[in-house]
Every structure is written in structure tokens, then in C-alpha cells.
Amino acid sequence: MYRVARTPNVLSADEYNRLKDFVCSHDADKYGIPYEQRVREFEKYDNSMYDSNHRPYAKLYPSLHSLPKALSIAGMGIKDVYNDVWDTPLRWPDEQSERVASTIDAMCEDSENMPFINQLCSTIRSYIASWWDTEEWTSSNITGRVKFCYKKIFALDERASLPSDVQSIMERLVLKSNSITALELPRICEVFHVSFHWLVGYPSSVLVLGKNPITEEFMDVYMRLSQGHRDHFEALILKAPEFITKQVKA
Amino acid sequence: MQKNAESPAGNDVESTSPAAGAKQRKPSNDVFYKFFDELTATANKNISDKLNSVVTTLASNKGDIGDICDQLCLDYSFLYFIQNRKRAYPTDRLGIFCEKYANMSCHELALGVRKPVMLPKIQSSIARTLIRLDSLFDISKVIINKYAPLATKAAHGPSRTDLTLSRIRELANDLQLTPMRAQALYWGNADNISLLFQPSHKNSIVRRIEKRNNAFVKMTTAIMAAFLVDQPLDYLICEDYTRTCEIAYRGDNGEPIVITDPKIIRVISIYLALPEDKQCEMFADILLRDLQFSVAFSSIFQF
């Protein structure tokens, strides 16, 4: 089969085939979509990926952006694919972020807390360094974002002290700009301390690690804070539910 | 760098004249060093002059010179060396001298320029919030009563190296960069770092402080660091800079607004004296009140 040269941020043949095998097996039964329906739908989806107009024998693999649509056939989420199919655990970079996300998830259950969370989110935005507000984010793809983050956060001679696996990824990126793979992204998110949701550029409706869109949106902003500010805001967020309850009682 | 047996705590001391110490750095042709060497010499001269005048005044008032030495944590012989410009004034004790005797900020005393400390983002948001809320409720008083007993750090602590580094880190935090990267950004175009501005260069302040295992930063390094972060010396060498120096925050248009309200200054002073976890708690306490108030205010306007 003629294969199209890989474009940035597109799943590799191996990644895609592992996903296809998983979806079309009984392992994916736990996600709630019946086996026959799932296999039938996924076959249709698989066949639609041939570029019939221009190169009939070339198969186009899905990008990370279009992955949620493919996964909806099997009732899966992005996190499930990483954890169950690709064996690369996708989680919050640290326990602090996990605590904050779970608190926001819990607060989102009560709709009365929404104005408070929105206000908090806009307050946090004012703490984010101005270099994050560049046009480069909107115009670039995942590879571009990774490069920009790397260039912006670390000084020249600090880059040598990064973990060796991340260093090798970044060295590879210098030589070949589209060489980053989906499986390397969780590690990059962990080291750069950015949200996976934000790095890939998903809309807030796509859930990666949060339980609802507001949490995802909030964590995208929260994780762009520096460490010192994150500590301060963590204290605030963990204290917020108790404070709100007290105020309501008063 | 020499060890002076006569210094009270046995701390590192820096000499100001070649005669004072056998081991001296060669006079450098480097423009960079020359500039800061001249500034340091001026600073040492200013401090020594002020010390002389204070000692003379006290002597004429029949004050006990021994008491001054005790209060400044200097022994008499060391005081004599400073007065005669054989030793530089140790930066870790400069804050006490400025607060008790000079009645001016360390920066003003050393370099002759009055400059307020521009508060970092966390402290400036505390100040801004309290100024806004105090017009309606007396929140500052509540905060002072609640957190003043928890303030444990001394206003002028013994070690200053860690303090200087933590203050540089605090400012780098605001930019969300590593301290090295922040330095490169301050001193030049970080995307096109020339040799001088490269953090691995010999002039790198962060590395200079980290590598030299001194008890306190030397005056030259402190001045270089003050230039690096565009803050007065007080910010880098005093634990509680509100006691010696004016504090300010940036207004909406970016202009510095000097804080004159003693209650707000007291709150910032308490914040600086708190342990880290309590600092976070205090920040959360103030911001939560503000958030609650703004939510309530916006809901009233919706109706």
C-alpha cells in the first residue's frame, strides 16, 4: 500500500492499528457500545480514510484533533486510549493539579458556584505571564507549541539539564519538525507542566482528564501559572467550598 | 574573599581597599565589571560616611558606642574597619542600620537614589484588593488581627544568600520563567543571547550567588542583582523591606502607585514574616473575600 508521508500531529500507522484492533475486539466492551455496532461503525470510519479523489491507495490516518470523533464510535475518551490502548498513562502532571481539578469538578456539580468559578478563572488569567498571550499559539500546531514552550521557558544552558528522553525528543524536533508522536505528548506535558488539553488545542467540549468542560477550561488556565502562583491559588481553591458554604449559612 | 577573625559572627566579609586583604581580584578591563566596581565603591563610601556621622553624633550626645555595636551586630573593631573603609558594610546587617540610624532605604543610602520596591504580583494583588475592600469594610484590621500572631520570621534575619536567591526566584515566578531565563530576558534579548547575557557567563548573577557559598551576598553582587531585577537593594537584602523602603504596585495604566496607608503596609509586612504555607493561606483568605464580594456585586447588577 502506498503510504502518505506523515504530516505533523497525525497518528502513526502503528498507533492507529493498535487503536483499531482494540476497538474491534471484546476488550472495548466495557465502554458500553455493543460489539457489532462498534465494529460496523469503525469499519465505515476506516474506509472513509482513503483519499479517493487524489490518491486512491493512500490511507490518511486521523489527527489528534479528529481522534475524539473516531473514539465516540466506541464510546471512549482520549484518556482511555492512552491508558488502555497505548499503555502510556495520561494523567495530571502532579498531585497538586489533580487535587485542584477534583475540587473544581466537585464545585461544578452545584450550578450556584458557576459565577464564582468564572470569576476565579478570570482572576487567574491576570496572573499568567504576558508571553503566553502571543499569536503563535493560535497559528501553530502541536509541534509548534511544544517548540515555543521549550524556547520560552528554559534558558539555553538549562535545556541540557532536562530529562534525557525529553532532550532527545527536542533534538529530533530540530532536525525534523514533524517528528513528534502522540505517545510522547504526555511526557512533554509533564515536564513542561502544561495541560494536554491545551497543548493539543481541543475545544472545551472535548474532555481529556476533567469531568466537565469548565474543569478543562479552568485547568488549561491554571496550569499556565508559575509554581509559586499555583501554590497560592491551590490554597484558595481548596478553601473555596468551605468558604462558600459558610457565606451561604451566614 | 577573606575570613575576618574579628567579625562578630565569623561571617564572610569583603574588603574595600587593596591594603585590607592580600587576595584581591585583579582590576578588570571588562566594562561590565568596571561599571559595577565603581558603583560598589561609591556605595561603600556613602555607607561609611553615614556611619561616621552617626557615630560622631552619638558620641557627642554621650551615647554608648558599645550599644550601637550591639544593635548593629558588629563588634567595635569591625566598626572601626568599616569607618576607615577597610571593610565593606555586610549586606545582611545593612537593613538594621538603615532602619534604626540612617532613616532611609538601603538603596538610597548606598546609591543615593530613592526608589520604591515594586511589589511582585501576589503582594501587589493583596495590596490592591485590600485598598478596594477597605473602602467598604475594614478587612485589613481583621487580617492583621488574624495573622500577626503567626508571623514568625524576624525582620532582619541572619542569612541573606538564600533570601536574595528566593527574591530573584519570586520575580522569575511572575514571568513564569526559570531564574536563569529571567536573567537572560532582563539583560538582553533572550532569543538572541549574546555572550555577555548568556546565563552560563561568568557575570551570571544567579550562578554567582549559588556557587559562592557565602553567608551573605557581596555588595557588588547585590548591586548587580538589583540592576538585574530593576528593584532597590532593600528588596534583595532585607527580609522585611517595608520597614526601610517605600512599596508600590502598578496601576491599570502601568504607572507605579506608592502605598501610603500604614494598615496595608502592615499587612504586607506580616505577609513577608509568615511561613510559606501561611502566606498561601493569607492570600487565599483575602482573595476569597474579594471574589465573593465581586460575585455578589455582579449578581445585584444583573437584577
Nearest CA to CA, how far is A140 from chain B (Å)?
A: 18
The Cα–Cα gap between A213 and A219 comes to: 10
User: Per-residue pLDDT for B280 more than 80?
Assistant: yes
Query: What is the 3-state composition of chain A as percent helix, strand, coil, each rounded to the nearest 5?
Result: 65, 0, 35
Bridge partners of A3, per DSSP, are A59
In degrees, rounded to 5, the angle at the alpha carbon of residue B42 between the alpha carbons of residues B36 and B45 is: 140
Q: Which residues of A95-104 are buried (b: 16+ CB within 10 A; e: fewer)?
A: ebbeebbebb
The predicted pLDDT at position B1 comes to: 37
- Average pLDDT (B286-299) is 80
Q: What percent of chain B has pLDDT over 90?
A: 28
The predicted pLDDT at position A245 comes to: 81
Which one of B121, B180, B299 has the shortest CB-CB distance to A155? Answer: B180
Task: Label residue A103 by pLDDT band (50, 70, 90).
Answer: very high
Which residues of A touch chain B, with CB atoms under 8 Å apart?
A: 115-116, 119-120, 123, 127-129, 131-132, 151-158, 224-229, 231-232, 234-236, 239-240, 243-244, 247
Query: Are the beta carbons of B283 and A232 closer than 8 angstroms?
Result: yes
User: Per-residue pLDDT for B298 more than 70?
Assistant: no
User: Per-residue pLDDT for A100 more than 90?
Assistant: yes
The predicted pLDDT at position B19 comes to: 46
The predicted pLDDT at position B15 comes to: 57
Chain A residue numbers with beta carbons less than 8 Å from the beta carbon of B192 are none
Q: Name the range with the highest mean pLDDT among B28-37, B58-67, B161-170.
A: B161-170
Place of cell 555588595: B219
Render pLDDT for A36-50 as a digit per residue (tens, 0 to 9): 999 999 888 888 877
Task: Label residue B174 by pLDDT band (50, 70, 90).
Answer: confident
- Average pLDDT (B245-254) is 90
The closest alpha carbon to A64, from A127, A146, A153, A130, belongs to: A146
- Dihedral of the alpha carbons of B118, B122, B124, B127, in degrees to the nearest 10: -140
Which amino acid, A207? L
The predicted pLDDT at position B195 comes to: 46
CA distances from B187 to B94, B199, B225 (A): 27, 10, 11
The predicted pLDDT at position B235 comes to: 92
The predicted pLDDT at position A115 comes to: 87
The Cα–Cα gap between A53 and A56 comes to: 6
User: Per-residue pLDDT for A180 more than 50?
Assistant: yes
The predicted pLDDT at position B192 comes to: 44
- Dihedral of the alpha carbons of A214, A215, A216, A217, in degrees to the nearest 10: 50
- Cell output for B211: 556557587
CA distances from B227 to B25, B87, B95, B142, B189 (A): 22, 23, 19, 37, 16
The predicted pLDDT at position A189 comes to: 93
Supply the DSSP symbol for B132: H
User: Per-residue pLDDT for B20 more than 60?
Assistant: no
By C-alpha distance, the chain B residue nearest A132 is B176
The predicted pLDDT at position B25 comes to: 55
Sorted by sequence, the CB contacts under 8 Å of residue A137 that are 6+ apart come out as A145, A148
CB distance A229–B122 less than 8 Å? yes
- Average pLDDT (A136-157) is 80
Query: Are the beta carbons of A99 and A241 closer than 8 angstroms?
Result: no
The predicted pLDDT at position B117 comes to: 94
Per the prediction, chain A carries an average pLDDT of 85
- Cell output for B155: 525582620
The predicted pLDDT at position A196 comes to: 92
The predicted pLDDT at position B158 comes to: 64
Which one of B176, B287, B298 has the shortest CB-CB distance to A129? Answer: B176
In degrees, rounded to 5, the angle at the alpha carbon of residue B131 between the alpha carbons of residues B129 and B136 is: 95
The predicted pLDDT at position A208 comes to: 92
Query: Are the beta carbons of B141 and B133 closer than 8 angstroms?
Result: no
Q: Which of A96, A125, A149, A158 best tests the B interface by mutation, with the highest count of B CBs <10 A?
A: A158
The Cα–Cα gap between B226 and B232 comes to: 6
By C-alpha distance, the chain A residue nearest B299 is A115
Task: Label residue A5 by pLDDT band (50, 70, 90).
Answer: very low
Chain B residue numbers with beta carbons less than 8 Å from the beta carbon of A157 are 180, 198-200
- Lowest mean pLDDT of A121-135, A178-192, B154-168, name the range: B154-168
User: Per-residue pLDDT for A57 more than 90?
Assistant: no
More confident call, B208 vs B121:
B121
Length of chain B: 303
- Average pLDDT (A113-130) is 88
The predicted pLDDT at position B102 comes to: 87
Main-chain phi, psi angles of A194, to 5 degrees = -125, 160
Supply the DSSP symbol for B107: H
CB distance A129–B288 less than 8 Å? no
Nearest CA to CA, how far is A165 from chain B (Å)?
A: 20
More confident call, B184 vs A146:
A146
Render pLDDT for A79-96 as a digit per residue (tens, 0 to 9): 999 999 998 999 999 999
Render pLDDT for B233-247 as a digit per residue (tens, 0 to 9): 999 999 899 999 999
Render pLDDT for A193-243 as a digit per residue (tens, 0 to 9): 999 999 888 888 899 999 989 999 999 999 989 888 999 999 999 999 888
The predicted pLDDT at position B52 comes to: 85
- Average pLDDT (A182-193) is 91
Query: Are the beta carbons of B291 and A119 closer than 8 angstroms?
Result: yes
Residue A32 falls in which region: left (phi positive, over 0), alpha (psi -120 to 50) or beta: left
Supply the DSSP symbol for B62: T
By C-alpha distance, the chain B residue nearest A233 is B284
CB distance B175–A131 less than 8 Å? yes
Render pLDDT for B179-193 as a digit per residue (tens, 0 to 9): 777 777 766 544 444
- Strands B12-13, B247-250: pairing is unpaired
Place of cell 519570586: B170
- Average pLDDT (B150-165) is 79
User: Per-residue pLDDT for B198 more than 60?
Assistant: no
